[in-house]
Structure 1
Amino acid sequence: MSEHVTNRHCQAKAWSQNAIHILEAEGRRTADSHLCSVHLAGFSGIDVYFKDESIHPTGSLKHRLARSLLLYGICNGQIRSDTVLVEASSGSTAVSEAYYARLLGLKFYAVLPRNTSKSKVEAIRQHGGLCHFVDEPATIYDEAARLADRECGYFLDQFAYAERATDWRGNNNIAESILNQLSLEPHPVPQWIVMGAGTGGTSATLGRYILYRGLATRLCVPDPEYSAFYEGWRDCDPNSVSLRASRIEGIGRPRVEPSFIGNVVDAMLKVPDAASIAACRVLSGLLSRRVGGSTGTNFIGVLWAAAEMKQRGETGSIASVICDSGERYADSYFDDDWLSAQGIDITHPTELIERAVSTGELSPDLFLAQRQRGDTDTPKLHRQHA
């Protein structure tokens, strides 16, 4: 009996070590993402960079997270050769996890809101993943846990484990990579890094690394209109909720996720969806290729940070992230009929963003609210959403 157990343990360990080798080899093959410079004429002396995470094999920032989550599960002994993997996702994380599950020969289920973009659903299926839809986005957590239990599988749970699965001290994480790539630039230590929150794992990695390296860099987290993160951070309330699901895929959540570490965030903004979508279109024009809505939210944060620096007479650099390609949103954010059906008019915010880019004048109409760490007054509410 003991010999049988020993052999089974040895086989499991051998599979785990081989799986880790496969994941590490894939990481080396795909190398690092590019850091792109974006010229904003209205902000002289302020250099802006976007780290292009859309170039990963699965097309988004979530490629890094998916690899980390699988490594985390394997090294904890919870993912084995016959384990069924399950994830709760709005799309991009599931695309990346399906890719890695197929590399390892594992069955994968994605639990998705029914309104997830068709292109993401198709990408999950192309990588061999199975899609399990729910009508209410807030139920994806419980449904994923239930499905994992039914399949005797493993719930990857990006929202709980994103912040701990990633090595925030280094190991070529996104923060270390940004700083390395900036090392020969005129302003190698950015004044601001701007990154929206979905799981909260990337903003946690960035904020922790800033503190760990003793940098003067500040972290700004722009939050979509329908999301709980901003209010939770502002009010120090981990139980804050949003009664409506975010329309900016990849960021914004109906609750403050466990992976969101508010103590490392220096400033947050509340960004209207119309501004996020207008910004992704304007930035797409500047880059000559499409970027997604979450990158548009980041761009609003970049403009806010640049305006803060300009007002203080500061020069320096700002870094942010291209989260995914806008080609995934051809039938939504880049479709005027879809915008009309959603009741979203981007005409005015587009004018304001283009003016900010060319003149450096930033209108408060691009924000619902903004707040920096240390503010003692009430949040600066500029307008209420109609």
Structure 2
Amino acid sequence: MTGSGLLGEAAAHNDDGAWARKAIERIQNDQRRSADTHLLRLDLPALAGIDVYLKDESTHPTGSLKHRLARSLFLYGICNGRIRHDTPIVEASSGSTAISEAYFARMLGLPFHAVMSAATSPEKIREIERQHGRCHLVADGKGIYAAAEALATELGGVYLDQFTHAERATDWRGNNNIAESIFEQMSREEHPVPAWIVMSAGTGGTTATIGRYIRYKRLATRLCVADAEFSAFFEAYAAGNRTATCDRASRIEGIGRPRVEPSFLPQVIDRMMRVPDEAALAAMRVLSRRLGRRVGGSTGTNFFALCVIAARMQAAGERGSLVTLICDSGERYGHTYYSDDWIAGQGFDLPRQEDRLDAFLDGRGPLEA
């Protein structure tokens, strides 16, 4: 029994409370210093009456959509008392989340360890290390979960587990989440309520946030989730099978998973589309040329699915706006998606797919789904 008599008392360590307040202040100050990301309108005259917008998440301080998630995960961990002044931080990641988490760990003076597939792009590994993080590469990508959990136990640290906590760490009702930002930026456009928002799934956290927000605000917008060719998510949605697995690792870094992650909520999705990797990477290159800068493979997946929806709307004589995301910069994939040798090694015929998509966007031909 603690104390005397029937009354037991204990006090939290004062240093941890003071550290938590300071840590939250630093994270919030970082958010205030970062302006909201741009919403770009893509000029596509051939799609008369259908306006296409790109939410450019590559402009975050750590270069990707995952900056939002990392910030939320750190705030969630600190406010729940899991992250303290000397806590080693461990994450299982395909790269972008780890880059963003390494940034916040460095800001707070915490050691950071990323457990990743050995196939992760060298550019991402270098960026994690630049943020003073340590990378632990696992030959089998399916093993990152157990390896991260074991490493956290060994270090006496916290496994952030983005795949479980992504959907609960973000305030989906608002608080400047990505959905609220999109609708605020769209509010004065010709079609302010998008017909569709198109988003691919990695953890499933962003699609959960967008889908919940749409319902909470009673909006007519529908959510289409674009899945990578090798991923368990599509089967989970199409067949209602949360035990679905995929034996092959996704070739599109950041999206597609070998299992159905806890943060993936199929019930808030209106349509799901499995995009062949060849089509996704062709769309990535087409969009990069039209923007004048490189985007990543997940953005290509998003953009191809958006184009399919645009083609269907055009065929039906529908008008409206479509929104998708630029998830990260293509500069992280110089050794893979922008390497002709890597593309050839995968057996992809990108020029044929690019010509087909360019023809549609220029009004020279249909786009068959």
Establish whether residue 83 from structure 1 lines up as the match of residue 87 from structure 2.
yes
Q: Give the conservation status (yes or no) of the 8 Å contact 2:308–2:367.
A: no
Establish whether residue 195 from structure 1 lines up as the match of residue 174 from structure 2.
no
Output the CA distance in 2 between the equivalents of 1:307 and 1:343.
Answer: 27
> Which one-letter code corresponds to 1:52 in the other structure?
D
> Which one-letter code corresponds to 2:223 in the other structure?
L
Report the counterpart of residue 116 of structure 1 in structure 2.
120
- The 3-state SS of whatever aligns with 1:64 is helix
Q: Give the conservation status (yes or no) of the 8 Å contact 1:43–1:360.
A: no
Report the counterpart of residue 65 of structure 2 in structure 1.
61
- The 3-state SS of whatever aligns with 1:359 is coil
Kindly state the Cα deviation for residue 173 of structure 1 after the two structures are TM-superposed: 0.3
Q: Please, which moves more after superposition, 343-352 or 266-275?
A: 343-352
1:157-176 per-residue CA deviation (whole Å, 9 max, x = no partner) reads: 00000000000000010000
- The 3-state SS of whatever aligns with 1:334 is coil
1:66-113 per-residue CA deviation (whole Å, 9 max, x = no partner) reads: 000000000110000010000000000000000000000000000000
Establish whether residue 266 from structure 1 lines up as the match of residue 267 from structure 2.
no
Output the CA distance in 2 between the equivalents of 1:103 and 1:245.
Answer: 32
Output the CA distance in 2 between the equivalents of 1:301 and 1:13.
Answer: 47
Report the counterpart of residue 294 of structure 1 in structure 2.
298
> Which one-letter code corresponds to 2:264 in the other structure?
F
Decide which of 236, 239, 243 is 2:243's aligned counterpart.
Answer: 239
- The 3-state SS of whatever aligns with 1:195 is strand
Q: Give the conservation status (yes or no) of the 8 Å contact 1:42–1:361.
A: no
> Which one-letter code corresponds to 2:109 in the other structure?
G
Kindly state the Cα deviation for residue 360 of structure 1 after the two structures are TM-superposed: 7.4
Kindly state the Cα deviation for residue 31 of structure 1 after the two structures are TM-superposed: 2.0
Output the CA distance in 2 between the equivalents of 1:47 and 1:25.
Answer: 35
Kindly state the Cα deviation for residue 359 of structure 1 after the two structures are TM-superposed: 1.8
Decide which of 239, 252, 257 is 1:248's aligned counterpart.
Answer: 252
Kindly state the Cα deviation for residue 305 of structure 1 after the two structures are TM-superposed: 1.6
Report the counterpart of residue 17 of structure 1 in structure 2.
21
Establish whether residue 204 from structure 1 lines up as the match of residue 184 from structure 2.
no
Kindly state the Cα deviation for residue 362 of structure 1 after the two structures are TM-superposed: 4.1
Kindly state the Cα deviation for residue 9 of structure 1 after the two structures are TM-superposed: 2.2
Kindly state the Cα deviation for residue 146 of structure 1 after the two structures are TM-superposed: 0.5
Kindly state the Cα deviation for residue 301 of structure 1 after the two structures are TM-superposed: 1.2
Output the CA distance in 2 between the equivalents of 1:62 and 1:202.
Answer: 9
Decide which of 128, 143, 160 is 2:164's aligned counterpart.
Answer: 160
Kindly state the Cα deviation for residue 353 of structure 1 after the two structures are TM-superposed: 0.9
Report the counterpart of residue 41 of structure 1 in structure 2.
45
- Check 1:94–1:362 CA distance in 2 against 1; reply closer, same or farther (3 A cut): farther
> Which one-letter code corresponds to 2:126 in the other structure?
E
> Which one-letter code corresponds to 2:29 in the other structure?
A
Q: Give the conservation status (yes or no) of the 8 Å contact 2:94–2:253.
A: yes
Q: Please, which moves more after superposition, 35-44 or 17-26?
A: 35-44
Kindly state the Cα deviation for residue 345 of structure 1 after the two structures are TM-superposed: 1.9
1:245-278 per-residue CA deviation (whole Å, 9 max, x = no partner) reads: 1000111111111101100111111111111110
Q: Give the conservation status (yes or no) of the 8 Å contact 1:226–1:245.
A: yes
After TM superposition, list the pairs within 5 Å mapping 1:97-136 onto structure 2: 97-136=101-140
Q: Percent identity?
A: 56
TM-score (norm. length: structure 2) = 0.96
- The 3-state SS of whatever aligns with 1:263 is helix
- The 3-state SS of whatever aligns with 1:144 is helix
> Which one-letter code corresponds to 2:148 in the other structure?
A
Q: Give the conservation status (yes or no) of the 8 Å contact 1:110–1:131.
A: yes
> Which one-letter code corresponds to 2:270 in the other structure?
D
- Check 1:360–1:213 CA distance in 2 against 1; reply closer, same or farther (3 A cut): farther
Establish whether residue 179 from structure 1 lines up as the match of residue 180 from structure 2.
no
In structure 2, list runs of 5 or more residues that go unmatched. Answer: 4-8
Kindly state the Cα deviation for residue 342 of structure 1 after the two structures are TM-superposed: 2.1
Q: Give the conservation status (yes or no) of the 8 Å contact 1:228–1:255.
A: yes
In structure 1, list runs of 5 or more residues that go unmatched. Answer: 368-386
Decide which of 270, 280, 299 is 1:276's aligned counterpart.
Answer: 280
Report the counterpart of residue 382 of structure 1 in structure 2.
none
Q: Give the conservation status (yes or no) of the 8 Å contact 1:307–1:360.
A: no
Report the counterpart of residue 379 of structure 1 in structure 2.
none
Kindly state the Cα deviation for residue 348 of structure 1 after the two structures are TM-superposed: 1.7
TM-score (norm. length: structure 1) = 0.92
1:272-319 per-residue CA deviation (whole Å, 9 max, x = no partner) reads: 111111000000011111100000000011101212221221111001
